[in-house]
Amino acid sequence: MRAVIPYKKAGAKSRLSPVLSLEEREEFVELMLNQVIDSLRNAEIEKIDVLSPSVYGLEDMTKARVLLDEDDLNEALNRYLAGSKEPVLIVMADLPLLSPAHIKGICSTEKDVCIVPGKGGGTNALFIKNPSRYRVKYYGSSFLTHCSIATDTGQDFEIYDSFLAGTDIDEPEDLVELLIHGNGSAKEYINRKFRLEVSRGRVGLVPL
Amino acid sequence: MRAVIPYKKAGAKSRLSPVLSLEEREEFVELMLNQVIDSLRNAEIEKIDVLSPSVYGLEDMTKARVLLDEDDLNEALNRYLAGSKEPVLIVMADLPLLSPAHIKGICSTEKDVCIVPGKGGGTNALFIKNPSRYRVKYYGSSFLTHCSIATDTGQDFEIYDSFLAGTDIDEPEDLVELLIHGNGSAKEYINRKFRLEVSRGRVGLVPL
């Protein structure tokens, strides 16, 4: 099997712009990418591809192969899947709470496809045993779409139910989850900039 | 073992007030409560208590025992724990995605305590094998607090990692998760009032 991580550093994570500058967001996504790669390696996945529209931020990448495709995320991933002759794990680059144990759990599914839901209807990871028989459609309610695509192509699927793997970091409130549940360099980066503050039921961020 | 569900119908779920009226919120929390009770019963938990500061909305409750305690949530729960001679599962009433399988998983922990984190640092469920040795402290970052309380009292704990059990319904965006991942009467109630709409990355609600 192989893993592929779609990645784009330039202008990344615009929804974090209320709390992080462009430069900070670009630093932060690089830390998250490296953590995801490390988790994959620690899960003993040897073939790891980073799929990006640009080499920006990947010039010194040695831990994974860099594949460039300027096309849209879905087009690029579907081209990747069509050319794959072994099972593929697609994993998003913004999952610093994803552990090697999660990855092993996802990839040990007995079904044809394993889908890891993210917040707000997204798909955080997708393990596909027969990639040439599957196509992806990210954006919007991709979780439901990915379930339907499996069913429509006669493949059964498992939903991998994890709070931690389900936490993709897109919005300021997601940084709270990273501070509470995370570890490693991405957490430390945010920890140097914010502290947690309790207000009305849930916990919020306060700049340091 | 027994389960206890803290519950307050009057003025419930004020953070949903941007999208649901007071009357709707009170109807909705009652549906969620009943779903949680049904999940507990389907997990073969026979002793179920609803702990409430008022009998309002519980006049006709037949599926669980109703305990009234006008004190604050923490005071009332700690009094409950102090008087319990068997393991206790504390489960919040706003978890319509919690399934019988989750409940069985939580209660089969090999540790002294099992903690189910909710969004934003909360605690969605808490299974305590020795309730007289534990006290709760909800509100704020209760997940971290509940981990510390276990450690400080010499009890080991498991973190139960579930996207679905981790989804407590407090904010309008949480209703999106209910529509995407839920079933049963609470989902149907929301489904009659809203549809999902895709915008900028995540899925939002649109009134019908």
Chain B residues within an 8 Å CB radius of A122:
201-202
Residue A205 pLDDT > 90: no
pLDDT per residue as tens digits for the range A134-151: 999 998 889 999 999 999
Secondary structure class of B4 (helix, strand, coil): strand
* A 15-44: CB under 8 A from B: 15
pLDDT per residue as tens digits for the range A163-186: 999 999 999 999 999 999 999 999
Q: Is A154 among the domain residues?
A: yes
Shortest Cα distance from A160 to chain B (angstroms)?
A: 9
Q: Is B191 among the domain residues?
A: no
R_g over Cα of chain A: 17
Secondary structure class of B116 (helix, strand, coil): strand
pLDDT per residue as tens digits for the range B9-63: 999 999 999 999 999 999 999 999 999 999 999 999 999 999 999 999 999 999 9
Residues whose CB is less than 8 angstroms from the CB of residue A193 and which lie 6 or more positions away in sequence, other chains included: A20, A24, A207, A208
Q: Is B205 among the domain residues?
A: no
pLDDT per residue as tens digits for the range A57-81: 999 999 999 999 999 999 999 999 9
Per-residue pLDDT at A120 = 92
Q: Is B195 among the domain residues?
A: no
Question: How large is the average pLDDT for residues B163-168?
Answer: 98
The CATH number assigned to the domain holding A152 equals 3.90.550.10
Residue A14, φ and ψ in degrees, nearest 5: -60, -25
> ipTM of this predicted complex?
0.94
How many Cβ atoms are within 10 Å of B74's Cβ, its own excluded? 15
Residue A69 amino acid letter: D
Q: Least CB-CB distance to A141: which of B164, B166, B196?
A: B196
CA nearest A166 in B: which residue?
Answer: B163
Confidence at B144, pLDDT banded by 50, 70, 90: very high
Structural domain boundaries, residue B120: 2-165
SS3 of chain A: helix, strand, coil, percent, to 5: 35, 20, 40
Whole-number average pLDDT of chain B? 96
Q: Is B178 among the domain residues?
A: no
Residue B153 pLDDT > 70: yes
B1-36 as b/e: b if 16+ CB within 10 A: ebbbbbbbbeebbeebeebbeeebbbbbbbbbbbbb
How many Cβ atoms are within 10 Å of A139's Cβ, its own excluded? 15
CA B115 vs CA B133, B145, B161, B165: distances in Å: 15, 11, 9, 11
Whole-number average pLDDT of chain A? 96
Confidence at A12, pLDDT banded by 50, 70, 90: very high
Residues whose CB is less than 8 angstroms from the CB of residue B176 and which lie 6 or more positions away in sequence, other chains included: A120, A121, B196, B202, B203, B204, B205
Per-residue pLDDT at A201 = 61
CA atoms within 13 A on the CB side of A191: 12
Chain A residues within an 8 Å CB radius of B163:
117, 161-163, 165-166
Q: Is B185 among the domain residues?
A: no
Q: What is the domain count for chain A?
A: 1
Q: Is A82 among the domain residues?
A: yes
* B 81-140: CB under 8 A from A: 117, 119-122, 139-140
Q: Is A205 among the domain residues?
A: no
